[in-house]
Structure 1
Amino acid sequence: MTATRTWTAWSCTVRLTVDDPTALSPACGELKLLMDRVDKAASRFRDDSELATVNERAGAMVPVSRLLVDLVDVSLVAASLSGGAVDPTVGAAVIAAGYDDDIEQVRQRKAPVLIPPVVPGWQRVQLNRKQALIGIPEGSALDLGATAKAWTADRAALVLSKRHGCAVLVEIGGDLRAAGTPAEPWVIKVAEREGDPAVAVTLAHGGLTTSTRTARTWDTETGTAHHVIDPRTGKPADGPYRTASIWAPTAVRANTFSTAIIATGEAALGRLTLARHPARLVDADGEVTELAGWPAASRAA
């Protein structure tokens, strides 16, 4: 028997499912506490977050918590794995594109178009793990949105499954992570946006993420913009794929590839092919490409 609870946080839907109903309430409380810790460490929208302090003090080494060290470390691994397609130093470019507040606030106004800044590149982030210090180049800003959400899903699923001795499925926005051994695999509906037509797949373990440029969008003076930045241009990505759904052993790894495909398109496709992670890619016209054993019978979006 399973039990599920759903709520909204981080401007997205959060869903926790367990196969022991007695574990649901305490597990929900623990997930909310973890998300609060991550928010205080890494939110780009809180003036009192540690990330805000690092960005404000660009050019200096800033003492931070071990949690933020871990989150930045994960983002740098993702950048390396993706060949720089998932770059945590796109923060200033995201702001220049108009995403400088909670998405609902951004949507209530027409954002001005700013000149996209040069993305300094993840290699210029300085991370002293031993002393818990982080430094970024002057004039730049970190944005950990591409990896922090997936890391939280991974961490929560593993900890909650072990602590409560049950199978757990954590979903934060488009990032899912399954842990434990469910009696039957979880049935997941994969869609470009919440409420859109979906295809059903099963998930027994690992991570499943969907990245898209069709959901977190807003109006600007020159048209519609979205939050996935191509680090090569500093602008919202305009490659051939609008949505990518990926399975991998962890949500972070799945998110790295799904974000990379949207950010840099064909440039990331070779790495995904070599990794052989099952994938479902939707191009700008709605045509679907399935790779590496993605379940059959998917349809065009």
Structure 2
Amino acid sequence: MTASRTWSAWSCTVRLTVDDPAVLGAACGELKALMDRVDKAASRFRPDSELSVVNNRAGALVPVSRLLVDLVDVSLVAAQVSGGAVDPTVGAAVIAAGYDADIETVRRRFPQPYGDPVNVTGWQEVRLNRKLALLGVPQGCALDLGATAKAWTADRAANLLSKRYGCAVLVEIGGDLRAAGTPKEPWIITVAERAGEPGVLVTLAHGGLTTSTRTVRRWQTPTGYGHHVIDPRTGRPAEGPYRTASVWAPTAVRANTFSTALVATGEAALGRLKLAGHPARLVDADGEVTELSGWPTTSRAA
């Protein structure tokens, strides 16, 4: 028997499912507490977050918590694995695109054109002293951990809760899912571009399954829609062939690294995905679907 609870946080849907209903309340409390700690450390929208302090003090090394060290470390690994496609130094470019506040606030504004193009500093310029817990970025650079922080939180929560309560756990934070433990039956997951829309059903027994898309966090501009997935090569919202990518990998961070890279840089990320061998489902700008590397052919319409 499973039990699930759903709520809204971080401008997305959060869902926790366990196969021991007796622990659901306590497990939800722990997940919310973890998300609160991550928000205080890494939110780009909180002026009091550690990340905001680092961005405001660009050019200096700033003492930070071990939690932020871990979150930045994960983002730098993702940048390396993706060949720079998932770059945490896109913060200034995201702001120039119009995403400088909570997404609902951005959507309520009168349409505005994009700001001037922003050169992405590059993840290699981030200074992280893991031993001393010091973090710094160059002048004119701003970190944005949105591409990896949600996935890291899903991974961390699923593993901790499964071990603590001795049960199978499924954590979903927006498009980032992580399964941990050994469920009696695999979880049945609907993979769709947007929550509540028709999709395909797949099963997930372990690991991470993420969906990255430019069709959800978007807003009106005079020339169409803007969105939050930045192509680091241009400093602009991505315009590649794939509007949505879903990827399975052993962890949510690993899956998200590839799903984000595919939306951000398109064909440039395909070679790395195929080399890694992670199953993927890609939706191009016209809605045509491509399934790769063992994505289950038995998946069916929801």
Q: Under TM normalisation by the shorter chain, which class is it? A: over 0.9
- Give the match for residue 72 of structure 1: 72
Q: Could you tell me whether the CA contact under 8 Å between 1:178 and 1:206 is conserved in 2?
A: yes
The residue aligned with 1:262 is 263
Confirm whether residue 273 of structure 1 aligns to residue 264 of structure 2: no
State the distance in 2 between where 1:273 and 1:300 align.
Answer: 25
Q: In 1, distance between residues paired with 2:300 and 2:161? A: 34
User: Which residue is equivalent to 1:204?
Assistant: 205
Following superposition, the deviation at residue 230 of structure 1 comes to 0.1
Where do residues 203-242 of structure 1 align in structure 2 (5 Å cutoff)? 203-242=204-243
Give, in whole Å, the separation in 1 of the partners of 2:139 and 2:220.
Answer: 29
Mapped contact 2:199–2:301 kept (Cα < 8 A): no
SS at match of 2:155: helix
**TM-score calculated relative to the size of structure 2:** 0.98
CA distance in 2, matches of 1:199, 1:103: 27
Distance 2:43 2:288 in 1: 35
d(CA) in 2 for partners of 1:54, 1:143 = 11
Match of 2:192 in 1: 191
1:21-170 equivalences under 5 Å are 21-109=21-109, 110-170=111-171
Distance 1:283 1:112 in 2: 25
Contact kept, 8 Å, 1:287 with 1:300, in 2: the verdict is no
| Alignment partners' CA distance in 1, 2:112 and 2:256 | 27
Shift of 1:116: 1.7
What amino acid sits opposite 2:27 in the alignment?
A
User: How many percent of aligned residue pairs carry the same amino acid?
Assistant: 81
The Cα of 1:300 is off from its aligned counterpart by 9.4
TM-score normalised per structure 1 = 0.98
Distance in 2, Cα, partners of 1:221 & 1:114: 12
Residue equivalent to 2:20: 20
Q: Report how far residue 251 of structure 1 moved.
A: 0.1
Per-residue deviation, 1:299: 7.2
Unpaired runs of at least 5, structure 2: none
Q: Deviations for 1:160-198, whole angstroms, at most 9, x for unmatched residues?
A: 000000000000000000000000000000000011111
Structure 1 CA distance for aligned equivalents of residues 107 and 89 of structure 2: 24
The answer on whether the counterparts of 1:98 and 1:220 sit within 8 Å (CA) in structure 2 is no
Aligned residues of 2:200 and 2:301 also touching (Cα < 8 A): no
Q: What is the SS of the residue equivalent to 2:164?
A: helix
Instruction: Note the C-alpha offset of 1:82.
Output: 0.1
Q: Secondary structure at the match of 1:145?
A: coil
1:191-248: CA deviation from partner (whole Å, max 9, x where unpaired): 0001111100000000000000011110123321000000000000000000000000
User: Equivalents in 2 of 1:141, 1:43: separation in Å?
Assistant: 12
Are the equivalent residues in 2 in contact too, given 1:99–1:227 (CA < 8 A)?
A: yes
The letter for the 2-side match of 1:150 is: A
Assess if the C-alpha contact under 8 Å between 1:58 and 1:136 holds in 2. Answer: yes
CA contact (8 A) 2:120 2:235 kept: yes
| Contiguous gaps of at least 5 residues in structure 1 | none
**Residue correspondences, number:** 301
1:239-258 alignment to 2 at 5 Å? 239-258=240-259
| Cα RMSD (Å) | 1.1
Indicate the SS of the match to 1:94.
helix
Q: State whether residues 98 and 113 of structure 1, in contact with CA within 8 Å, keep that contact through their aligned partners in structure 2.
A: yes
SS in 2 for 1:146: coil
Q: State the match for 1:172 in structure 2.
A: 173
Q: Conserved in 1, the CA contact under 8 Å of 2:201 and 2:300?
A: no
How many angstroms does 1:111 deviate by? 3.0
Deviating runs (4+, > 6 A) in structure 1?
Answer: none
Q: Deviations over 1:84-138 (max 9, x none)?
A: 0000000000000000000000000123421021000000000000000001010
For 2:217 and 2:148, the matched residues in 1 are separated by 16
Paired AA for residue 84 in structure 2: G
CA contact (8 A) 2:218 2:225 kept: yes
**CA contact 1:288–1:300 (8 Å) conserved in 2:** no
